Every structure is written in structure tokens, then in C-alpha cells.
Chains A and B, each alone.
Chain A
């Protein structure tokens, strides 16, 4: 073995995204296997076609596009969740409910209180959009205050909005589903040119966070506080404020995700928007190879994790698994992915690899 290839192999082995990427590839492979088994084009998973819509537009169509599109909300949530997990070694379980509340608040403003269905917007669209963001941010402030300044366990602190936010959303919508039958509102869940808009929104969110982390020292601050908040304080960081900030960011993105989700169905369905999304967001962070014990984080891993979850769901549907049974298979795949990342399993494989290498050496000698 030449030194060049071995150093490349070492680089790959120590690449932090290795396992998340492997997990994603595994899911794709499952698709290919299935396609081969049923005699379809083995690459149909990757095929992207341009389709004509009934209204005369041209849109991109394909399973990958579908995964990227459907996975947008979880990817957006995973951004904030990654930061929350890193800084506070806890999770924000309220994001799904906050999505719902933000959507309800937005739709209520756009339709007017008590109106169940409207074609005309009561206030400019931008007001509704900003209201959704503001509501998410406000919820984030609430969670952040409880966790950072009152020292309440993140799980318990966010449990409050987990159960209350959805109900408040219902209250805001006067216990009804509010329909906004207006194309401008639906645009966030539809297509911009040939691309689904949610993909573009997710891309913008990811870009914003990436730029902020690159251009400011926020990333180091968050990790530093997450690893050792006492030492960070002595070194001049305001640990509490940084933890607070991560919850605010997480809340803001829940607002964004809520808007996208609501726009897809052009309504504020308080009971269903964002349902169980918090679990997917937390899972995305874990699948991305991030420790839920806080500290070091890897944003790219979380994003890959988010799309992996969607890829699993889409794959299962492609395999013909019914919607009711999908969670069972999803659980099995997730257990496998998480298990291969678990330290004891990794240690086991490392040991075997070492033993093998040792055996080779011995054989040589």
C-alpha cells in the first residue's frame, strides 16, 4: 500500500461526516436494490425529469427532489436544534408546537380573527410572514429564559411550550382551521421556477447560519460554553446569554419552518402542523454524529441527518410500505444507523481492525 493512499484512507476515516454520509448512502442503496429487484431502471432514484404542470409551468420531478423538498422543515429545525444541543446539552422539544403556533398566528393575521376561509389577505403578506418569525423568536426567548436564566432542565422548560403552544395556536384561530386560499401565501410551499420553494428557503437558512458561523465567533462560543460553561465564564464569555441566544435562534427557525409547512397546505391546521417534528429534528442532530451531551457540533452532519430521515420515509413509501406501518421500519433503520455510531460499536470495529493489522504484521514477520 502506498503512503499516499493510506494517508487518504486515514483522512477519510477521521472525517467527521463519514458515518452520516455512509448512513445516507445506505438508504440510497436500499432504493437501488429495490428498483433492481422489481426490474425498474436501477438509477430511477436519481432520475430527475422536467414535467409540465397543468397550469403550464415546468417543474423538476424526481425522488431526490421530493426528499429535498419534504425534508426542508426538518433541515431548518435541525439548524437551531444543533446549536441548542451544543450549548445546553439539552433539547428543545417545543419546536413542533412552536411551528404550529407561528403558522396559526400568521394565518390569523392574514385572514382576520374568527375568519375560517379567505381569498383576500387582510394585511400585507409580509406582515404575516414577519409575524410568524416573530412568534417563533418570542417562543425561543421564553424557552431560553427558562433554561439559561432560571436554570431549568431544557427538557422540562421546553415541555411547557410543547404542550401549550399548539393549544394557544388553536385559541388564536378560534378553534378552527384557517384556510388562506391565496396564491401569494401558498408560494412558500409551491414552486419558484422549476424548483420547490421550500428547498430554496432551507438553502437560504443554511447559508445564513453557515455565514454567521464563519464570520463571527459564535460557533466557538457555543461549543466552549457547551463543553465547560464555568471555564467559559472565567474566560470572559457570558455563558447564560449564549445559551439564551441558541434557544432564540432555534425558536426563529421553528417560526420559519411553521410558515413553510402552513404554506404547503395553505392553511393553519393547529393540530397537525409540525406534529412530531421535534423528534425528527432531534434525531437529525443525533444522526449527524453530534453528541446529545453538548459541546462540539457539526452542522453539516445535522443537515445530512435531516435529509436522511426524509430519505428513509420516501424510500419506505417507494417500497410500498403503508403510512401506518412506516414508523416501525423507520425505527429499525434508525436503530441501525445510531448503533453503528455508538462508541462501543465503533470501539469494537476499531479493535477488530487493529487485531487484523497486527495479524498481518505478524504474518509478514
Chain B
């Protein structure tokens, strides 16, 4: 093992049923370095960390730790702690009703000669540990008396005192405010001075550049690369995470019409759903295709959901066709002419044990009401029409929808919403997991629907799709709407906006 290196992972692979979660991933952590592990949701960050800490049993690869000759394979977090890997999670895993000192020494209390707990000495020791780390707390106070940031630092102090060589911080800042984050960074820098290697997982790009020395990027379970922070400006980081090479991007310009004179379909003011999306203003005109750009987990789906009432908005006001409205649940939105194709097809889209026909007419039936059952003839008519229109490949309308392929299931849900003839249709990742041909069909359909005067909100991880179809883009970052791009939409513009901060 080369000098300076505390942890190396080589060729780690791990499969979950049906998914290759990690494939041949390398990772190297050096002494006294803060190393950011970046990637979109589902890129494999958590899986890698769980392999390091013994929660996941990886199938192939080796992990080496400084000071241990054999390759290390942890089977529990305790194993991991024994070789010097400690983890602090987003939610604090300590006991709030015990004192700070008790939390520091829980499970390894110093004993007196009579084998009873030596309270005095551990209070003194604890105070010293905390003072050394520059955390000003009274260690005899219960942990619950302190803020979440301090609690997190106590968790870190505990990890450090257990002589960890590797400290993993998994999204430690998500529930902290700016001042608390700064305190945490100070502590991280101090530990770095002491030679601890820190792996830092976060969704916040700013924080990476504020505190990290090196970045490793994962995408779809594979390693994209390891970069010193100076070599990877934000835009390149975003490109690496999304899998786009900036140089390869051809600027394809769509036909952009000016639709700002058209009547407003949707107008949101300060709409927010606490915990998922911060207050945003948004106006959508009739016949407009509006794209929502941002990394996965940036709040793009959440923005759509708060308009549709899938997550009921806590604050703000919403106007539909210039009328103030209250949307408590999806059916309210549907009655106002909305529809939403959710991004998680299996969890929120298909009703798998119902037939294709029933899946198609479900939303229309919900809208017309329980006592006005659509006649069987009418149901067949509607089902046949959309099976034909969207060329859904199914043996019969009475086939169970779960027997269809993913792409055809997606078309069934699309049919469900088209059958309600909505004025405003939200499509959240309508093309995910669909073959190229169908993707193009869906993109064409979007443009066509807009041509008929419907407003479409289009969310996709593939920026090119949105460049091709959207009239305007909304950019989301860290659960906040950070900007809009109108007129000439290019991939570069979108990526820059998503990356934010430094202008390049």
C-alpha cells in the first residue's frame, strides 16, 4: 500500500436482485483528506458506503485498511469500527436522554477497580475530548438539550475517540442551517489536521467546494473518476454525474415560439411543501411545454407534486386559469383539468393486478364518479382507441397490466391521463426505461398535445429530450427553484444553470 493511504477499495461489485448496484468500483482515501463521494440518487454512493461499513456483503473486490495486512471484509458495523471505520449518519444514532459523556462512552465505559462504572473519570475524559475538538458543551447535560448540529458533533467525537482512521459522514448537513454547517466544517478541518481520512457524502455542491480536497464520482453503479478538487469545476462535476461530456454536446435548437401572450394555465406564488420543495413562483401558459431541469433529488418531482396535490402544498397560493384554487388531493387537481404521470411507475403508476382496460379508464372513472359507471362498451371503446393510438403491445385489453413490458405499462398510464383529456399534464420521467423508438414517439406526442393547446410539464433526466421539446425550462437545485431559461435553450445553458455558482 502506498504511503499516506488509509483505505483502498478495488473492484468492488455488488448486485441486488435485478440490479447491478456496483460494478468494479475503485476508491482510495488518503490520510488527512476530505474526500467527497458524489453521484445522483441511485448512483451507488450509499451502496459503496454500506460495503465499507459491513452492512452490505459485496460479491467481488477487496478492501484494504492501513495497518491491516489481510484484505478486510466487514460483516457488521462493529467489525468496521474495529478496523477503524466509523460512520455518522444524517439522523443521529445516539440516546437523547443520556448525558453527552454517557453517549461518548456508551458500551465502553471506563471501570473502577470494583468493576463499576467510573463516572468521575469519564466525565473528566469526555470534557477533555470535547474541549480538544473545540466543542463547547457541558458533558453532564443530557444530549437532547443541545441542537442537532452539536448532537452530530458528539456523534463525530465518539467516532474519533474510538480511534477511527476513516470517518464517513453520510449527508450530515441536510438538516443543519448555514451557521451549524460552518461549525461542522471547522471540526472536519480539525480532524483532517489530525490525519483522519474523511469521506463526505452530500447533495450540496457548494459544500463540496467549501471543504473537500478530492472528489470521486459514481454513476449508475460505476466509477466515473477521481479528481483533485481544482481539476473539476462545478459544470464538469455536474456533467460527470449526469454522464454528459460537455465537449460532445451539439447545441440542438428547438423551434421556440413566444407563448407569453397566451392565457395563463397555472400560476403558483410561493407554493411549497415543507421538507421537499422550497417556496417557488411559476407561471405556465396555455400550449406551453415547460421542462424542469435539475439533478435527481433536486426537487423537480416534488415541485410538480406540490402543484398536483400529490404532496399537499403547505404554503403559497395557486391559480388555475386565473381562478384561485385549493388543492387538497389529486382528485381536486384532476377536476381542474390536471393529470400527472408519476416518475415511479411501479409504486405510483400501474395497478398491476387490474387489466389494461381498467388501468386506462381508472382516472376517467374516478373523475366521472362512482355512481356513473362507464358502460362496458364505452370502456372497451376508450381502451381500444388508446391501445391503437399509442400502439400499446398487449394481447388483449383484458390482459393484466403487470404482464406488459415496462414501456407498454408506461404507455398505459399515459393513456389513462389522455383519456381524461387534461388541460395541464405533468409527465415525470415518462421516457425512463423505454426504448429509443418509443421515446421519440412520446416526445412527438408531447409537442403534438401542446399544439392542441394543452400545457405540459415535462421532467426528464435526459437533458436533450427537454431541449428538443420544451419552450421554457425551470432549473431546480437543492430543493429550490433557482432560475428559468427561456428562448434559446441549449444543453450547455441548462448544465451551467444546474451547476450554479461560478459562471464559466
Residue of B nearest to A228 (CB): B351
Determine the chain A residues whose CB is within 8 A of the CB of B340 once the complex forms: 234
Q: Tell me whether B495 is interfacial, beta carbon within 8 Å.
A: no
1/0 contact string of B338-352 vs chain A (CB within 8 Å): 001010000111111
Contact with B along A206-245 (1 / 0, CB 8 A): 0000000001111011011001101111111110000000
Complex Cα spacing A301 to B331, Å: 33
Q: Does A166 contact B (CB under 8 A)?
A: no
CA distance A221 to B371 in the complex (A): 11
Nearest CB in chain A: distance from B141 CB, A: 36
Considering only CB atoms, which chain A residue lies closest to B334 in the complex?
A: A236
How far does the Cβ of A235 sit from chain B's closest Cβ, in whole Å? 5
Distance (whole angstroms) from the CB of B165 to the closest CB of chain A: 44
Residues of B within 8 A of A218 (CB): 370
Q: Would you call B440 an interface residue if the criterion is a C-beta within 8 Å of the partner chain's C-beta atoms?
A: no
What CA separation (Å) do A217 and B366 show in the bound complex?
A: 9
A79 to B352, CA, bound (A): 24
Contact status B373-A215, CB under 8 Å:
yes
Do residues B351 and A216 form an inter-chain contact, with CB atoms below 8 A?
no
Cα–Cα distance between A331 and B352 once the two chains are bound (Å): 34
Q: A221-B370, A236-B367 are in contact. Are A295 and B362 (CB under 8 A)?
A: no
Pairwise interchain contact B370-A227, C-beta atoms closer than 8 A: no
Task: Report the Cα distance A312→B367, complex, angstroms.
Answer: 46
CA distance A73 to B334 in the complex (A): 42
Which residue of chain B lies nearest to A245 when distances are taken between CB atoms in the complex? B370
B330–A234 CB distance below 8 A = yes
B365 part of interface (Cβ distance < 8 Å):
yes
**Contact flags (1/0) for B435-452 with A, using CB distance below 8 Å?**
000000000000000000
Interface of A is mostly: helix
Whether A223 contacts B353 in the complex (CB less than 8 A), given A235-B416, A236-B334, comes out as yes
Residues of A within 8 A of B329 (CB): 233, 238
* A216/B354 in contact, CB under 8 A: no
Say yes or no: is B358 at the interface (Cβ < 8 Å to chain A).
yes
Interface residues of A in 60-74 (CB under 8 A from B): none
B362 adjacent to A228 (CB under 8 Å): no
A221 to chain B, nearest CB (A): 6
Interface residues of B in 371-430 (CB under 8 A from A): 371, 373-374, 416
Chain A, Cβ-Cβ closest to B367: A236
Known: A221-B370, A224-B362. A232 touches B310 (CB 8 A): no
Q: Are B352 and A228 in contact (CB under 8 A)?
A: yes
B346 → A minimal CB distance (Å):
9
Nearest residue in B to A233 (C-beta to C-beta)? B330
Measured between beta carbons, the chain B residues less than 8 angstroms from A215 are 373
CA–CA, A234 to B346, complex, Å?
13
- Interchain CB contact under 8 A, B365 and A227: no
B363 at interface, CB cutoff 8 A: yes
B330 touching A230, Cβ below 8 Å: no
What is the total of A-B residue contacts with beta carbons within 8 Å? 70
List A contacts of B373 (CB < 8 A): 215-217
| Chain A nearest Cβ from B392, distance in angstroms | 17
Q: How far is the CB of B286 from chain A (nearest CB, A)?
A: 23
A23, B382: Cα distance in complex, Å: 39
> Across the interface, which residues of B come within 8 angstroms of A227, CB to CB?
351-354
CB distance from A247 to the nearest CB of B (A): 17
For A234, the chain B residues whose CB sits under 8 A away are 310, 330, 340, 342, 348-349
A235 lies within 8 A of B353 (CB): no
Q: Are A230 and B358 in contact (CB under 8 A)?
A: no
A217 touching B354 by the CB < 8 A rule?
no
Which residues of A lie under 8 Å from residue B331 when comparing CB positions? 236-238
Task: Among A223, A236, A296, point to the contact of B366 (Cβ < 8 A).
Answer: A236
Residues of chain A with a CB closer than 8 A to B367's CB: 236
Which chain A positions have C-beta within 8 A of B347? 228, 230-231
Are A220 and B362 interface neighbours, CB within 8 A? yes
**Once bound together, how far apart are the Cα atoms of A223 and B374, in whole Å?**
17
Q: Are A235 and B366 in contact (CB under 8 A)?
A: yes
Chain A's closest residue to B358 (CB) is A220
CB closest chain-A residue, reference B333: A236
Residue-wise, chain A 146-170 has the 8 Å CB interface mask toward B (1 for contact) of 0000000000000000000000000
Which of A216, A235, A238, A296 meets B362, CB within 8 Å? Answer: A235
Q: Tell me the bound Cα distance from A237 to B351 in angstroms.
A: 12
Task: Tell me the minimal C-beta distance from A240 to chain B in angstroms.
Answer: 9
Query: Chain B's nearest CB lies how many Å from the CB of A297?
Result: 11
Give B310-357 interface residues, CB cut-off 8 Å to A: 310, 329-331, 334, 340, 342, 347-354
Whole-angstrom distance between the Cβ of B415 and the nearest chain A Cβ:
12
Q: How far is the CB of A22 from chain B (nearest CB, A)?
A: 23
Task: Please report the C-alpha to C-alpha distance between residue A273 and residue B102 in the assembled complex, in whole angstroms.
Answer: 58
Residues in A neighbouring B351, C-beta threshold 8 A: 223-224, 227-228, 231-232, 235
Kindly state the separation between the CA atoms of A218 and B367 in the bound complex, as whole angstroms: 13
Determine which residue in B330, B351, B358, B362 has the highest number of CB atoms from chain A within 10 A of its CB, and name it.
Answer: B351
Distance in angstroms between the alpha carbons of A26 and B72 in the assembled complex: 61
A216-B334 contact in complex given A228-B351, A234-B348, A237-B366, C-beta closer than 8 Å: no
In the complex the two chains form, what is the Cα distance from A137 to B203 in whole Å? Answer: 51
Q: Is the CB of A296 within 8 A of B348?
A: no
In chain A, positions 337-353 with a C-beta closer than 8 Å to chain B are none
Give a binary string over A86-107; 1 marks a CB under 8 Å from any B CB, 0 the rest. 0000000000000000000000
**A228 vs B346: C-alpha distance in the bound complex, in angstroms?**
9
Most A C-beta atoms less than 10 A away, residue of B342, B348, B366, B367: B366
Q: Which residue of A lies closest to B373 (CB)?
A: A217
Residues of B within 8 A of A236 (CB): 330-331, 334, 362-363, 366-367
In the bound complex, CA of A296 to CA of B354 (Å)? 8
Docked CA distance A86–B310 (Å):
24
How many angstroms between the C-alpha atoms of A364 and B374 in the bound complex? 50
Give the residue name and chain of the A residue nearest to B332 (CB): A236
Determine the chain B residues whose CB is within 8 A of the CB of A295 once the complex forms.
Answer: 353
A330–B372 Cα gap in the complex (Å)? 44
Using known A-B contacts A224-B354, A295-B353, determine if residue A235 contacts B370 with beta carbons closer than 8 Å: no
What distance in Å separates the Cβ of A241 from its nearest Cβ neighbour in chain B? 10
A231 and B350 contacting across the interface, CB-CB below 8 Å:
yes
Closest to A236 in B: B366
Bound form: Cα–Cα A295–B351 in Å: 10
A220 surroundings in chain B (CB, below 8 A):
354, 358, 362, 365
- Minimum distance in angstroms from B360 CB to a CB of chain A: 11
Most buried by A among B330, B342, B354, B370: B370
Bound complex: CA A221 to CA B365 (Å): 9
Name the distance in Å between B402's Cβ and chain A's nearest Cβ. Answer: 10
Q: Which residues of B contact A224 (CB under 8 A)?
A: 351, 354, 358, 362
In the bound complex, do residue B362 and residue A223 qualify as a contact, i.e. CB atoms below 8 Å apart? no
Residues of A within 8 A of B349 (CB): 231, 234
Within the complex, what minimum Cβ distance (angstroms) separates A36 from chain B?
44
Chain A residues whose CB sits within 8 angstroms of the CB of B334 once the complex forms: 236
Chain B, 251-284, contact with A by CB distance < 8 Å: what is the 0/1 string?
Answer: 0000000000000000000000000000000000
Task: Choose among A217, A231, A233 the residue that contacts B365 (Cβ–Cβ < 8 A).
Answer: A217
Least CB distance from B221 to A in Å reads 27
Which 3 pairs across A and B sit closest by C-beta, in order of nearness? A236-B366, A236-B331, A217-B373
29 contacts between A and B (CB under 8 A): A215-B373, A216-B370, A217-B365, A217-B373, A217-B374, A218-B370, A221-B366, A221-B370, A223-B354, A224-B351, A224-B358, A227-B352, A227-B354, A230-B347, A231-B342, A231-B347, A231-B350, A231-B351, A234-B330, A234-B340, A234-B342, A234-B348, A235-B362, A235-B366, A236-B331, A236-B334, A236-B366, A238-B329, A295-B353
Residues of A bordering B, CB below 8 Å: 215-218, 220-221, 223-224, 227-228, 230-238, 295-296
Q: Besides A227-B351, A230-B347, A235-B330, 4 other CB < 8 A contacts?
A: A215-B373, A223-B351, A224-B358, A236-B362
